[in-house]
Amino acid sequence: MAKALMGHVNHDARTASLAVENSRLRRRVGDLEALVLRLQAENDRLAAAARDELTVEDLQLA
């Protein structure tokens, strides 16, 4: 009986540990998703600036 109780206690501790780890990982995923969005927006801005610069240079050469 004692072994069964200890297994149950360890299971609760393991479940709590997994819940903490799950929470940490969800927060990290959220942080990474926000980073991806920021980098995509920055890439779009830089690509637009490069297109604009090429267009201006093409006009100056002609």
pLDDT in tens, 4-46: 655 555 667 788 899 999 999 999 999 999 999 999 999 999 9
pLDDT at 62 over 90: no
pLDDT of residue 54: 75
pLDDT of residue 23: 96
Instruction: Collapse the DSSP code of 33 into the 3-class scheme (helix H, G, I; strand E, B; otherwise coil) and give the result.
Output: helix
pLDDT range class, residue 52, cuts 50, 70, 90: confident
**DSSP symbol at 21:** H
Q: How many domains does the chain have?
A: 1
Tell me how far apart the alpha carbons of residues 36 and 44 are, in angstroms, rounded to a whole number. 12
Q: Looking at this protein, which amino acid is placed at residue 6?
A: M
Q: Looking at this protein, which amino acid is placed at residue 49?
A: A
- What predicted TM-score, i.e. pTM, was given to this entire model? 0.64
- Domain hosting 34: range is 1-62
Tell me how far apart the alpha carbons of residues 44 and 62 are, in angstroms, rounded to a whole number. 27
